[in-house]
Amino acid sequence: MAEVKILIEGYAKSTGEVSYKASSTTSLIKDSGKIILVDPRANKQVLVNTLKKEGLKLEDIDIVFLTHHHIDHILNIRLFTNHDIYDGDTIYKDDEEIEFSGKIPGTNIKIIPTPGHAHEHVSLLVETDKGKICIAGDLWWWENSQEQKTDKESLLEHEDPYVKNKEKLKESRKKILKMADWIIPGHGKMFKVEK
């Protein structure tokens, strides 16, 4: 069975009239002998320090995976200069793009298309001893000042000010709520899905 750990919980908060601070949740998956870092976030020093506390160096990461291409989730790919970068259907090796589908190659981790917040958005579904954990990127996310309501109705109706397609977002949310036992949002606390 795979293991999933939240390395750093994401945040999103206003810091004044025209400024904002956001950095995504970063998760670590161990599956099929590989270490996968999901959404390496924007805050460089926090990521480096947290990996060090875990006994990991940048070189220990086998796969850097992006749920979508928003800068608060991906800015730290700049640290992984010798790594291939994966998203929902492509491996980027320098200037070469290699397509794949269904699972992260060489693992049992399912890739679920979840468009709405962003057109290219995907979520990861990981089978663990705890149940099926979905690393959902910004399928759901909360500002620090918001109450994180996780009943089904609140989760389906939760507003996303950056949504690209509201209908697709709601469809994606319904799909993941049926599949997952636990959800790790892009910004906020992991929560159990009410069945």
The pLDDT of residue 38: 98
The pLDDT of residue 19: 84
Cα 50 to Cα 57: distance, rounded to the nearest angstrom? 10
Rounded to 5°, the CA angle 33-189-63 comes to 25
Domains of the chain: 3-192 (3.60.15.10)
Instruction: At 41, list the tokens.
Output: 């976030």
The pLDDT of residue 195: 82
- 170-187 residue pLDDT tens: 999 999 999 999 999 999
Are residues 140 and 158 in contact, defined by beta-carbon separation less than 8 angstroms? Answer: yes
Are residues 137 and 117 in contact, defined by beta-carbon separation less than 8 angstroms? Answer: yes
Q: Is the pLDDT of residue 14 over 90?
A: no
Percent of the chain's residues with pLDDT above 70 = 100
Q: Answer with the residue of higher pLDDT: 18 or 164.
A: 164
Are residues 35 and 106 in contact, defined by beta-carbon separation less than 8 angstroms? Answer: no
Residue with tokens 């220990």: 60
Q: What is the mean pLDDT of residues 87-96?
A: 96
Percent of the chain's residues with pLDDT above 90 = 96
CA distance readout (Å), 105 to 110, 111, 176, 180: 10, 10, 21, 21
Closest CA to 103 of 189, 177, 2: 2
- 44-59 residue pLDDT tens: 999 999 999 999 999 9
The pLDDT of residue 186: 98
